[in-house]
Structure 1
């Protein structure tokens, strides 16, 4: 497989994962917690880097190295988030339903009947689980796979593809 195809594959992988998260949110009704939002940013960065790598193929190795780092960061956030969901360690207080997460909000903004239902989504409760892994866990797995593919792109000399 050529470097160009690897770049298309990895960029498409991040598009699929980010698109899937948005589908779960807007079609499936699963509101994201703060750490869920954090996990989206590395994929957004990898998409931009993938487009840049395709547009400037001579610099693809550099863009791929940065994209690999973004995916490793995304995997780390996913592992941390999954660990919070499994009670392996404590998460951030801003999305665990404690601390000052509700400061400045009125009762009307939290009640579904008000039409402005904000709600607080806890990071320590998995909203969706498949084969024993939450969305955070699956994101970590796929982010590691994508990181490996980006590393392959970064380590492939231009003449090889």
Structure 2
């Protein structure tokens, strides 16, 4: 006997809350701990935001669960790719680290949009700096782990929905 019925709306809402928690942690690190985010950190936050918005729409819409789950998983995996690049940059030998760029405010004002996007997705020298370690992992490594969990969490909705549909038959 199945006492718990799978509810995709609740599942997607939990994913949205998870993304909000990640964004709140980033805001805390920036505004309270005063850790200035690098271009890759900002790109990762945008990927978390995009994933969270997809989760929110899925929870509100309550249809097309598979499409929303795939969309959230793709968004999370894009974020995981950005985080993996960030982790890679942090593990480069000092002589292979790319040059630091001017601040993002300056870049947004004086560089073309394509150059700004390229800078935000590839990272610069300041992205290789390790600002803090928690339980042996850097913040980008934790973010990579969070993105992978979000992707699995999202794809799991497809499997759980299929099992729920099977049990109704």
Match of 2:154 among 127, 150, 154: 150
Q: Distance in 2 between matches of 1:144 and 1:51?
A: 18
**2:27 is equivalent to residue 19 of structure 1:** no
| 1:5 equivalent in structure 2 | 10
- SS at the partner of 2:127? coil
**Greater helix share, 1 or 2?**
2
Calculate the aligned-residue CA RMSD, in Å: 2.7
Cα displacement string for residues 57-98 of structure 1 (whole angstroms, at most 9, x for unaligned residues)? 11232112101111111111111101101117956x4xx425
Q: Distance in 2 between matches of 1:160 and 1:3?
A: 10
**Contact map agreement 2:16 2:56 (CA 8 A) in 1:** yes
Match of 2:138 among 114, 130, 134: 134
| 1:70 equivalent in structure 2 | 75
Matches within 5 A, 1:35-74: 35-74=40-79
| 1:97 equivalent in structure 2 | 100
Offset of residue 43 of structure 1: 0.9
- SS at the partner of 2:126? coil
> TM-score when scaled to structure 1?
0.76
Gaps of 5+ in 1: 106-119
Match of 2:39 among 23, 34, 40: 34
Gaps of 5+ in 2: 1-5, 107-123
> TM-score when scaled to structure 2?
0.73
- SS at the partner of 2:63? helix
**Contact map agreement 2:9 2:60 (CA 8 A) in 1:** no
Offset of residue 12 of structure 1: 1.2
How many residues get paired? 141
| 1:124 equivalent in structure 2 | 128
Q: Are the structure 2 counterparts of residues 123 and 12 from structure 1 closer, same or farther at C-alpha, using a change threshold of 3 Å?
A: same
